[in-house]
């Protein structure tokens, strides 16, 4: 039986479904299909079926290219990744695949399908099921049941079409033992090509892994903790994480950096300390980046630097404390100054995330945040509008307050595939937010002091020079346009 885990096409653009804010980014970022890869790896390891992981985004394929590729081994079961901005395209893709392979079972997975499974099933009557939340073990059970000729209605964690009815099976418990999953880099090594993936703030080529799932904090618009992980925080063992770094070093020698794509890598300090100590003990040479909060201590930065950390990704979000409180961020805006100072002292780069159009904001609040970003002056920065995704508290708030700009998910992105505002605030129309994001990006990156800093960085470090040139070439056209 042929089982395909599919990251489907999106207008032949470099669209990142697995990102926390799926879009076609200005810097050309291409995410690995990380959740899809974990599930594919588990089914490949623990079933007797022929498994394929197909990333049409990385290949720059359209639907016909995809069908041509699948004709040699026609699929019996397809797990198709979804996201909110791409969902209409995702449904068109599986409809086309169903025309080409009528016998094939279709299961939709990912954030959007999990948030609104009935919507997805009603949108295309030939979709057989939706696998909810973390679908690793669900995928394995669905695969084995189909291979054995068994029905799916007793498999937990799915919404299923059966006899012209839609039924929901019991909730599946979240995976407790994350060490039981295969290394996702083993899956990449078998099915994907690291050179096809890119993150502007990272050394190239890179891989993306996860060492934890979920987050103990409650930011209102954060997508994966709410929709995929049930807001339950779990960790791999430090030994398991260190072993994957050793695997990458040995088996993927072209890789220069590891992106730890946890929602929050630094949540458990005791665990973090042990993980870093193991990486130091095994003389880890791989750089890595992590997502962190601005409460990270100077002491832990020192240890992380010794372990190989090169880059910290921090959600500064806003200069306005009232805004941070409104989104339940749980941080103090003023703490960012010491965070950035400590990072520089320890030789760590910072990628700063800033969000405009949040509850209570107006034009002056956005300008304050842009000024804040310039003062903090991280190595790289991203400016995007607050985006409310189905399944989050932010979406429910916007819907209840009748602030959503559109009920057409295509409008979650601009015509070019970039981030779009999803709400119109009383004092701040969404289009003004998008325009301000473009202006902020231009003002931040085209400052003379910033350009001189990047020139100096490029002249003293060949690898940083390669990264800067690659990223700036992709970003330049958007800066000129804005």
Other beta carbons within 10 angstroms of residue 282's beta carbon come to 14
Q: What is the pLDDT of residue 134?
A: 97
Structure-token pair, residue 269 = 């300090």
- Containing 9, the helix (H) or strand (E) segment is none
Q: Cβ of 313: how many Cβ atoms within 10 Å?
A: 22
Report the distance separating Cα 441 and Cα 445, nearest Å: 6
Check pLDDT > 80 for residue 35: yes
How far apart, in whole angstroms, are the C-alpha atoms of residue 355 and residue 333? 13
pLDDT computed for residue 163 by the predictor: 86
Does position 113 have pLDDT exceeding 60, yes or no? Answer: yes
- Calculate mean pLDDT across residues 22-39: 93
Residues 6+ apart with CB under 8 A from 459: 465
474 pLDDT higher than 90 = no
Question: What is the rounded CA–CA span in Å between residue 12 and residue 58?
Answer: 9
Supply the pLDDT for residue 201. Answer: 85
Across 1-30, average pLDDT: 93
pLDDT in tens, 297-330: 999 999 999 999 999 999 999 999 999 999 999 9
Could you report the per-residue pLDDT of 56-91, keeping only the tens digit for each?
Answer: 999 999 999 999 999 999 999 999 999 999 999 999
**Does the pLDDT at position 429 exceed 70?**
yes
pLDDT tens profile 390-427: 999 999 999 999 999 999 999 999 988 999 999 999 99
| pLDDT score of 477 more than 70 | no
Please say if the pLDDT value at position 446 is more than 70. yes
Note whether 420 and 454 are within 8 A (CB).
Answer: no
Is pLDDT at 478 greater than 60 in this prediction? no
Give the residue with greater pLDDT, 264 vs 474: 264
Average pLDDT over residues 281-297: 98
Architecture of domain 2-133+135-168: 3-Layer(aba) Sandwich (3.40)
Q: Are 363 and 334 in contact (CB under 8 A)?
A: no
Average pLDDT over residues 171-176: 96
pLDDT at 479 over 90: no
**Are 363 and 356 a contacting pair, CB within 8 Å?**
no
Quick one: DSSP state of residue 419? B
pLDDT at position 395: 97
Band (pLDDT 50/70/90 cuts) for residue 257 is very high
H helix runs in 314-362, sequence order:
321-326, 335-345
User: What percentage of the chain carries pLDDT values higher than 70?
Assistant: 96
- Match 């290949």 to its residue by tokens: 59
Residues 284-291 have a mean pLDDT of 98
pLDDT tens digits along 336-391: 999 999 999 999 999 999 999 999 999 999 999 999 999 999 999 999 999 999 99
CATH superfamily of 182-481: tm_1862 like domain (3.80.30.20)
Encode pLDDT of 43-58 as tens digits.
999 999 999 999 999 9
What is the pLDDT at residue 25? 84
Reported as a pLDDT band with limits 50, 70 and 90, residue 451 is confident
The span from the CA of 77 to the CA of 101, in Å, is 10
Please provide the average confidence, as pLDDT, over all residues in the chain. 94
The pLDDT of residue 472 is 64
Contact 221, 84 (CB under 8 A): no
Residue scoring higher pLDDT (200 or 148): 148
Name the strand (E) or helix (H) holding 81.
strand 77-82
What pLDDT score was predicted for residue 463? 66
How far, in Å, CA of 18 to CA of 40, rounded?
A: 15
> Across residues 222-251, what is the average pLDDT?
97
Residue 148 pLDDT > 60: yes
Per-residue pLDDT, 143: 98
Confidence category of residue 470, pLDDT binned at 50, 70, 90: low
The structure tokens listed for 340 are: 């950035």
Query: Any idea where the domains of the chain sit in the sequence?
Result: 2-133+135-168, 182-481
| Strand-strand pairing, 158-162 and 129-131 | antiparallel
Tokens 């992981």, residue?
53
In this prediction, residue 456 carries a pLDDT of: 72
- pLDDT at position 468 is 60
User: Global pTM?
Assistant: 0.95
Note whether 2-133+135-168 and 182-481 share their fold: no
Q: Is the pLDDT of residue 475 over 90?
A: no
Pairing of strands 129-131, 105-110: parallel
Contact 53, 45 (CB under 8 A): no
């Amino acid at each position: 039986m042929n089982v395909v885990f599919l990251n489907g096409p999106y207008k032949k653009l470099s669209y990142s479904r697995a990102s926390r804010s799926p879009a076609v980014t200005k810097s050309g970022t291409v995410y690995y299909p990380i959740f899809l890869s974990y599930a594919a790896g588990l089914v490949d390891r623990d079933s007797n079926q022929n498994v394929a992981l197909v990333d049409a985004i990385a290949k720059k394929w359209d639907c016909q290219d995809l069908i041509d590729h699948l004709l040699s081994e026609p699929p019996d079961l397809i797990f198709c990744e979804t996201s909110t901005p791409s969902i209409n395209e995702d449904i068109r893709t599986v409809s086309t695949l169903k025309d080409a392979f009528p016998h094939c079972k279709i299961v939709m997975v990912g954030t959007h399908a999990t948030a609104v499974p009935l919507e997805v099933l009603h949108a295309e009557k030939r979709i057989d099921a939706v696998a909810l939340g973390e679908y690793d073990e669900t995928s394995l059970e669905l695969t084995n049941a189909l291979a054995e000729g068994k029905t799916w209605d007793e498999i937990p964690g799915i919404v299923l079409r059966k006899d012209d009815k839609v039924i929901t099976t019991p909730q599946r418990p979240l995976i407790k033992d994350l060490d039981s999953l295969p290394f996702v880099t083993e899956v990449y090594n078998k099915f994907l090509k690291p050179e096809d993936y890119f993150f502007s703030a990272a050394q190239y080529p890179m891989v993306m892994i996860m060492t934890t799932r979920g987050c103990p904090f409650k930011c209102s618009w954060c997508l994966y903790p709410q929709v995929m992980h049930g807001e339950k925080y779990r960790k791999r063992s430090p030994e398991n994480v260190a072993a994957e770094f050793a695997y990458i070093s040995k088996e993927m020698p072209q890789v220069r950096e590891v992106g730890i794509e946890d929602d929050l890598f630094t949540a458990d300090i005791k665990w973090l300390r042990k993980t870093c100590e193991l990486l130091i003990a095994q003389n880890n040479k791989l750089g890595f980046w992590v997502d962190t909060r601005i409460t990270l201590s100077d002491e832990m930065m020192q240890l992380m630097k010794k372990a190989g950390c090169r880059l910290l990704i921090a959600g500064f979000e806003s200069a306005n404390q009232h805004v941070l409180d409104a989104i339940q961020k749980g941080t103090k805006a003023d703490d960012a100054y010491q965070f950035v100072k400590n990072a520089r002292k320890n030789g760590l780069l910072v990628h700063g995330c800033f969000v405009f159009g949040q509850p209570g904001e107006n034009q002056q609040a956005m300008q304050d945040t842009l000024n804040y970003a310039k003062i903090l002056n991280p190595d790289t920065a991203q400016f995007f509008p607050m985006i409310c995704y189905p399944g989050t508290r932010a979406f429910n708030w916007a819907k209840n307050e009748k602030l959503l700009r559109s009920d057409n998910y295509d409008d979650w992105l601009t015509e070019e595939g970039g981030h779009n505002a999803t709400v119109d605030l009383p004092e701040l129309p969404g289009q003004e937010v998008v325009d301000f994001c473009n202006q902020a990006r231009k003002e931040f990156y085209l400052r003379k002091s910033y350009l001189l800093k990047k020139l100096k960085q490029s002249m003293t470090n060949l690898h940083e020079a390669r990264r800067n040139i690659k990223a700036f070439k992709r970003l330049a056209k958007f800066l000129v346009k804005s």
